[in-house]
Amino acid sequence: MDKEEPYISLWREFLEQSLGWEHSDSWSEYDFEKLREIIFSKTNCRLSLSTLKRIWGRVRYTNTPAIATLNVLARTIDFEDWRAFKKAMDGKMIAPEHASTDKKIFYLRYRCLLTNIGTVTGSVLIILLIIEISKNSFLNNDKYDVTKEVFKSRIVSDQMPNSVVFNYDAANDPSADIYLQQSWDKTRTEKLDKLKKQHTSVYYYPGYFDAKLVGNGQVRKTSSVFLKTNGWMGIIDKSPIPVYLNSDSTDLPGGLGIKTQTFERIKGSTVLNDAWVHFYNFRYFDGASGHDFIFETILRNTSRPEQSSCRKVTIEIVGTKNEISIPLSDKGCIATLDLSLGSETIYGKDHDLSAFGCDFNAFQHLSCTIQHDQLSISLGEKMIFSRTIRQDIGKIVGIVIGFEGAGEIKSVKLGNRQKIIYQQVFEK
């Protein structure tokens, strides 16, 4: 990557700090998939996984990335293009070529000071000041012990929405700022007051979350937040606060679900495209794990085509480490589907997922099993997908079934090779 490499290295440092993830050396396939989607959401351009891996040195490649790729990288961190990013960096690389990562990060924190310096003299003075401050900073970092930081969570209720109290002590952290990342969703990040000891966050959805205390772009501590449900809970997605359904709305003659008329009344529209209802069941399913489970469900989307064009369904099996998400839709919409297998995502845009297309005039019987690291998905009597699973998603702690529009669930069963762990038939 020759002359562009110093700039690409700075870009990587800057992006990694903003993400607040673990060090990139430990990134998995799943992390690069997530990064791919983050870049797409910021720029509306989707880079390939191989391109991202080349940028991070995971794949050997000596050529410089195309200028179109570099422009996408720059826009990801809010620069107009790669030229603008380089212009902002030129003349400001005060850290030596082989400086430690900590010193590079320290320099990046102060890059904005340099941007507004109009004279050489002023630049030199600021540079000398930064170097002097950085010496003291790094001396203090040598004495810093992350194990002494405190980060614990406490759930205050057994209902949804729910508040979580985070107790923390990061007063001695060398980072200028400390952040709370509430879940895998990087947008749910809040800045904390380093001198305070408590912070409270509201969670509107049940689930199993790894909250993180983040400083200097590095995860200092994690704390698991497990928001359980009392049986099945129906929630209509709505921002900023979802709609919680009572049993009168979800107990249908044909199963657990929601009627079209109910959904239309709550949404205030007869068109249900991109309007989702999810049914959650979060608890410990003792004995079911990511390397040994058998899951079955019978369900259907009950919306009419004029209400929901694609009539999508998602079935999620949630573990303590990751999840498996299986999509279904009307046959004409399979290009819009994404199949998530923990650390790997298979996109309908570049894979044939036509076997996941359904005729929702009838109930569909879907099953998913993992045994000896082999995942199999069947629809009806036909196996529609099989793959060696790359990541154990951990202990099974949740089942989530979602409908774009209205839908019904007739039954759900979860077990392992030895026994049935959970089974429920909703049909009256």
Q: How far apart are CA 418 and CA 35, in angstroms?
A: 38
Task: Please tell us whether the domain made up of 147-227 is placed in CATH 1.10.3470.
Answer: no
pLDDT at 186: 63
The yes-or-no verdict on residue 114 having pLDDT over 70 is: no
| Comparison of pLDDT for 420 and 40, the residue scoring more | 420
Q: Do residues 396 and 267 make contact, with C-beta atoms less than 8 angstroms apart? A: no
Please report, rounded to a whole number, the percentage of residues in the chain having pLDDT higher than 70.
84
pLDDT at 241: 87
The yes-or-no verdict on residue 372 having pLDDT over 80 is: yes
| Comparison of pLDDT for 253 and 126, the residue scoring more | 253
pLDDT in tens, 264-322: 898 888 888 888 999 999 999 988 888 889 999 999 999 988 889 899 999 999 999 88
CB neighbours of residue 234 within 10 Å: 20
pLDDT at 272: 86
pLDDT at 200: 92
- To 10 degrees, the CA torsion angle through 36, 38, 42, 46? 20
Region of 280 on the Ramachandran plot (φ > 0 left; ψ -120 to 50 alpha; else beta): beta
Q: Is the dihedral of CA 77, 79, 82, 86 positive or negative?
A: negative
pLDDT at 278: 95
Identify the helix (H) or strand (E) that includes residue 416. Answer: none
pLDDT bracket for residue 129 (50, 70, 90): very low
Q: Strands 292-301 and 364-371, how do they pair?
A: antiparallel
The predicted model gives 385-400 an average pLDDT of 89
The predicted model gives 238-252 an average pLDDT of 88
| Comparison of pLDDT for 179 and 124, the residue scoring more | 179
Q: Do residues 160 and 244 make contact, with C-beta atoms less than 8 angstroms apart? A: yes
The yes-or-no verdict on residue 140 having pLDDT over 50 is: no
The yes-or-no verdict on residue 19 having pLDDT over 50 is: yes
Domain ranges, ordered by start, for the chain: 2-143, 147-227, 233-425
pLDDT at 59: 66
CATH code for the structural domain at 233-425: 2.60.120.200
The yes-or-no verdict on residue 128 having pLDDT over 80 is: no
Q: Which residues pair with 258 in a beta bridge?
A: 407
Q: Strands 357-358 and 323-330, how do they pair?
A: parallel
Q: How far apart are CA 242 and CA 246, in angstroms?
A: 13
Nearest to 81 by CA among 65, 99, 68: 68
pLDDT at 65: 80
- To 10 degrees, the CA torsion angle through 46, 48, 49, 51? -120
The predicted model gives 379-402 an average pLDDT of 90
Q: What is the mean pLDDT of the chain?
A: 81
pTM over 0.75: no
pLDDT in tens, 81-112: 888 888 877 754 434 344 444 444 444 444 44
Q: How far apart are CA 222 and CA 182, in angstroms?
A: 10
pLDDT bracket for residue 143 (50, 70, 90): low
pLDDT bracket for residue 185 (50, 70, 90): low
Q: Which residues pair with 340 in a beta bridge?
A: 325, 345
Q: Give 61's contacts (C-beta < 8 A, 6+ positions apart).
A: 54
How distant, in Å, are the alpha carbons of 84, 91, 107, 173, 387 from that of 101?
24, 19, 10, 17, 39
CB neighbours of residue 231 within 10 Å: 11
The predicted model gives 319-328 an average pLDDT of 91
